[in-house]
Amino acid sequence: MIPKDLILATESVKGMDGFLSDKHRSVRRSVRSFCAREIAPIAKEIDQEALFPWAVVEKMGRLGYFGIQVPPQYSGAGLDTVSYIIIIEEVSRACASLGLCLSVHNSVAVYPILAFADEEQKKRWLPPLARGEKIGAFCLTEPNAGSDAAGIEATAIRNGDAYIVNANKVFVTNGGIADICLMFVRTDPSAGRKGISVVVAERGAPGFVVGELEDLCGVRSNPVNSIRLYDCNVPAHNLLGKEGMGLPIGLAALDAGRIGIAAQAVGIAQAAMDESVQYVKQRHQFGVSLGKHQMIQSMIADMSTQIDAARLMVYRAAVLRDAGKPISEAAAKAKLFASEVSTQVTDLAVQIHGGYGYSRAYPVERYYRDARVTRIYEGTSEIHRIVIARSVLGV
Amino acid sequence: MKRHIIACIKSVMLEAPSGRAVRTSETCDLNPFDRPSLAVALHLRQVLKGTVTAVSMGPDACGFVLRDALAMGADRGILLSDPAFAGSDTLATTAVLAAAVKKLAPFDVLLFGTRTSDSDTGQVGPQTAVLLNLPMVTDARFIETGPLGLRVSRSADGFFETFDLSFPAALTIHPASVEPADPGLSGIAAAYDTARVEKWTLKDLGLTARQVGSMGSPTRVVSLTRVKRERKCEMISGAAEEQAEVLLQKLIKTGAVGQ
């Protein structure tokens, strides 16, 4: 049940990663070192200017970050889910916006293609996606549909060898830069939940319009835009799976996506923790460092404990996925808990930093803003509680 | 002609939980000073059309540094591991490395980092070169092909020295000589999934237990203590000339400048 390359180390460790394999640690060392050199130094600026850092993203593409779990025959790295969450956590620790970009691209855009596309489609879409030459997006949310995915109004009407698609998708992560968009549309308006399908719309097609950039509170260097399709001709061979499979594809994608967002939440929390630990050692009040005050110690202890628990839940969901086990409940719990921990921990980090924590001079205000959305996207905390309760109660 | 480049690398300790040195991939990492030397090896392979062999002495648990080297692009990784090697000082380590390099002959370039981030002696590279009777340039900053083989420049006391070296030659690589290269995820996956790290023991190297480990090491570590670095701020007053004179006398007294 546990993947072969997960080994239990015998010695107790501070880093709580005794069960990671040498390969996972190699992945983490490599990504951590890349993030420290290439991403962390620009994270503040790209957040404040709401810039998408193409130069760094191209390097990430060359290193394989956009095809983490894509098999080598489609130009991917062929790594497992544990490696995937390690990468998302590390990148998010440096910059939550890029962590989000990677998580959405790898899980809700690339994974459904891997799982549901036919061979011709895989050969067409996966290699450029895996190399980061094309960016993927997942277009579900509409002005009147989000948590209620069955309420979508976008339509795709079959016309010969194509679908005529009309859609108004909002809050599309990677929306401003995405080339390959999984569009959730109604192919059969009379069939309710079973009338929803996924068609892949490619940027540049006539009628494909990138709408306005959302002016968001956090994750500001991810171009979250609306995407509108006006009588857009999408070839019929861009249908993913079969007509009517939209919701099962969406739910499978979101299970994978939730593990990624949970890892992103842990990464943000860890960054806030790292910053706080450094700060309480430096800052002196009442003649001693902040870290000598018991109320601060209590905060640090809670933060560290919460992060450990959240990370373990994320690892569990990843290990289950690698073992081919059902993950809906574990992924929902990991996402719910990690996102709530992330907002609590970043809130405490601001509190520990006092006035400086509220200032843009220090990075904790960014972590605080970035963490908040993890409780909203890829399923709100409330939706996750419903998923978990239904699973536990069997209703 | 294909050139054979050998890079000697080390797994260094990052932390010693409860003061005990347990070497695993958690407590160790590839010596950061060996990354540039691996990058130079890979660059030379491209320029000279050759192959790169990475060699490391350490316990089995540290074989992962060779996987890191393979992930970066090395063609072959060899772990020199034997219980008899435990407790080796730099001289015994040199004996083991030199034996391995001889076994890997013919070779053209032998590369080392300038030092290690844990024990930090900087002795192993030069000592190995001496034992193998190889010309060596330490702290090599610029490495290119030259009329004899390699043309290597290094900075010494504020000026540059340039050497023409014929093959085989040994170098220690200055950390700033090259941009650090990141192993790609595919490289890491291949290094663990398909590549093989070879293991050579005392017997494979044709050495005896007396030449290596604590028996082959004249150095005795009596104890280890944490060095506390304390800073002291002292204000000097008076006219600028007086201040300069007082400062100069203090620097002379502490040995920071010569008289």
Q: Are residues A321 and A352 in the same domain?
A: yes
- Return the minimum-mean-pLDDT range out of A242-251, B16-25, B61-70: B16-25
Q: Using CB atoms, which residue from A9, A17, A23 is nearest to B188?
A: A23
Q: Would the CB atoms of B67 and A22 count as touching at under 8 Å?
A: yes
Q: Would the CB atoms of A34 and B186 count as touching at under 8 Å?
A: no
Residues of B with CB under 8 A from a CB of A: 15, 17, 22, 24-26, 29, 64, 67-68, 71, 180, 182-186, 188-189, 191-193
Kindly list the domain boundaries of chain B, sorted by start residue.
3-211, 229-259
| Confidence tier at A6 by pLDDT (50, 70, 90) | very low
CATH number, domain at A71? 1.10.540.10
Residue whose tokens read 């900087």: B122
Q: Are residues A207 and A332 in the same domain?
A: no
Q: Are residues A376 and A276 in the same domain?
A: yes
Q: Are residues A211 and A304 in the same domain?
A: no
Q: Are residues A119 and A145 in the same domain?
A: no
d(CA A21, CA A24): 5
The reported pLDDT for the residue numbered A17 is: 64
Cis peptide before A248 (omega within 30 of 0): no
The reported pLDDT for the residue numbered A354 is: 97
State the count of interchain CB pairs (< 8 A) between A and B.
75
For A335-365, what is each residue's pLDDT tens digit? 999 999 999 999 999 999 999 999 999 999 9
Phi/psi at B98 (5° precision): -65, -40
Of the two residues B60 and B17, the one the predictor is more confident about is B60
| Confidence tier at A188 by pLDDT (50, 70, 90) | very high
DSSP run (H or E) holding A210: strand A208-213
Residue A12 lies in a domain: no
SS (H, E, C) chain B: CCEEEEEEECEEECCCHHHCCCCCCCCEEECCCHHHHHHHHHHHHHHHCEEEEEEEECCHHHCHHHHHHHHHCCCEEEEECCHHHCCCCHHHHHHHHHHHHHHHCCCCEEEEECCCCCCCCCCHHHHHHHHCCCCEEEEEEEEEECCCEEEEEEEECCEEEEEEEECCEEEEECHHHCCCCCCCHHHHHHHHHCCCEEEECHHHHCCCHHHCCCCCCCCCCCCCCCCCCCCCCCCCCCCHHHHHHHHHHHHHHHCCCCC
Q: Are residues A257 and A372 in the same domain?
A: yes
Q: Using CB atoms, which residue from B22, B25, B182 is nearest to A22?
A: B25
For A298-329, what is each residue's pLDDT tens digit? 999 999 999 999 999 999 999 999 999 999 99
Taking a contact as any Cβ pair under 8 Å apart, which residues of chain A between 73 and 112 contact chain B? 76-79, 83, 87
Phi/psi at B28 (5° precision): -125, 165
DSSP run (H or E) holding A186: strand A180-186
Q: Are residues A255 and A326 in the same domain?
A: yes
- Residue B63 tokens read as 């074989």
Q: Using CB atoms, which residue from B24, B191, B193 is nearest to A9?
A: B24
Residue A199 lies in a domain: yes
Residues B77/B197, Cβ–Cβ less than 8 Å = yes
| Confidence tier at A9 by pLDDT (50, 70, 90) | very low
Q: Cβ contacts (< 8 Å) between B182 and chain A: which residues? A: 30, 33-34, 63
Q: Using CB atoms, which residue from A30, A77, A87 is nearest to B182?
A: A30
Q: Cβ contacts (< 8 Å) between A90 and chain B: which residues? A: none
d(CA A254, CA A260): 10
Is CATH 3.40.50.620 correct for B3-211?
Answer: yes
Q: Would the CB atoms of B182 and A63 count as touching at under 8 Å?
A: yes
d(CA B136, CA B152): 10
Mutate which of B65, B188, B193, B194 to test chain A, going by most A C-beta atoms within 10 A?
A: B188
Q: Would the CB atoms of A9 and B26 count as touching at under 8 Å?
A: yes
Residue whose tokens read 């032998």: B110
The reported pLDDT for the residue numbered A5 is: 32
Taking each helix axis from N to C end, the angle separating A96-103 and A54-63, rounded to the nearest 10 degrees, works out to 50
A301 and B CB contact within 8 Å = no
The reported pLDDT for the residue numbered B20 is: 61
Residues B74/B98, Cβ–Cβ less than 8 Å = no
Residue B223's contacts (CB-CB under 8 Å, 6 or more residues apart) are none
Number of domains observed in the structure of chain A: 3
Q: Are residues A198 and A228 in the same domain?
A: yes
Last residue of a domain, one of A246, A279, A299: A246
CATH number, domain at A170? 2.40.110.10
Q: Which of A316, A22, A53 is nearest to B63 (CA)?
A: A22
Q: Which of A258, A268, A348 is nearest to A301 (CA)?
A: A348
Q: How many CA atoms lie within 13 A of A279 on its CB side?
A: 22
Residue A235's contacts (CB-CB under 8 Å, 6 or more residues apart) are A161, A162, A163
Q: Looking at residues B28-34, what average pLDDT do you find?
A: 90
Question: CA–CA distance from B213 to each of A158, A303, A341, B79, B220 (Å)?
Answer: 76, 45, 49, 16, 12
d(CA B51, CA B46): 9
The reported pLDDT for the residue numbered B254 is: 86
DSSP run (H or E) holding A387: helix A381-393
Q: Are residues A163 and A108 in the same domain?
A: no
Q: Which of A137, A78, A75 is nearest to A104 (CA)?
A: A137
Gyration radius from chain B CA atoms: 21
For residue A96, pLDDT over 90 is answered with yes
ipTM (interface predicted TM): 0.89
Chain A's closest residue to B190, CA to CA, is A77
The reported pLDDT for the residue numbered B231 is: 86
Percent of chain A with pLDDT over 70: 95
Residue whose tokens read 């905390």: A381
A63 and B CB contact within 8 Å = yes
The reported pLDDT for the residue numbered B22 is: 73
Taking a contact as any Cβ pair under 8 Å apart, which residues of chain A between 15 and 54 contact chain B? 15, 17-18, 20, 22-23, 25-27, 29-30, 33-34, 37
Residue A148 belongs to domain spanning: 136-246
Q: Are residues A358 and A278 in the same domain?
A: yes
Beta bridge mates, B11: B30
DSSP run (H or E) holding A316: helix A294-322
Q: How far is B254 from chain A (nearest CA, A)?
A: 30
Q: Are residues A123 and A164 in the same domain?
A: no
* DSSP-assigned letter for residue A142: B
Mutate which of A5, A14, A17, A26 to test chain B, going by most B C-beta atoms within 10 A?
A: A26
Q: pLDDT averaged over chain B?
A: 92
Q: Would the CB atoms of A78 and B189 count as touching at under 8 Å?
A: yes
Residue A182 lies in a domain: yes
Q: Looking at residues B160-173, what average pLDDT do you find?
A: 96
Question: CA–CA distance from A351 to each of A93, A218, A289, A301, B14 (Å)?
Answer: 19, 18, 16, 14, 32
Residues B47/B30, Cβ–Cβ less than 8 Å = no
Residue A6 lies in a domain: no
| Confidence tier at B18 by pLDDT (50, 70, 90) | low
CATH number, domain at A287? 1.20.140.10
Q: How far is B182 from chain A (nearest CA, A)?
A: 7
For B213-251, what is each residue's pLDDT tens digit? 999 999 988 887 778 888 888 899 999 999 999 999 999
Chain A's closest residue to B187, CA to CA, is A77
Question: CA–CA distance from A256 to each of A24, A199, A242, A281, B75 (Å)?
Answer: 19, 19, 20, 38, 36
Residues of A labelled catalytic: 378
Q: Which of A128, A318, A79, A59 is nearest to B71 (CA)?
A: A79
Q: Would the CB atoms of B182 and A83 count as touching at under 8 Å?
A: no
Q: Cβ contacts (< 8 Å) between A13 and chain B: which residues? A: 17, 26
Q: Are residues A104 and A199 in the same domain?
A: no
For A200-232, what is each residue's pLDDT tens digit? 999 999 999 999 999 999 999 999 999 999 999
Last residue of a domain, one of A111, A130, A149: A130
Chain B's closest residue to A17, CA to CA, is B26
Q: Which of A391, A101, A114, A125 is nearest to A235 (CA)?
A: A125
Q: Which of B18, B80, B109, B67 is nearest to B197 (CA)?
A: B67
Residue A9 lies in a domain: no
Phi/psi at A56 (5° precision): -70, -40
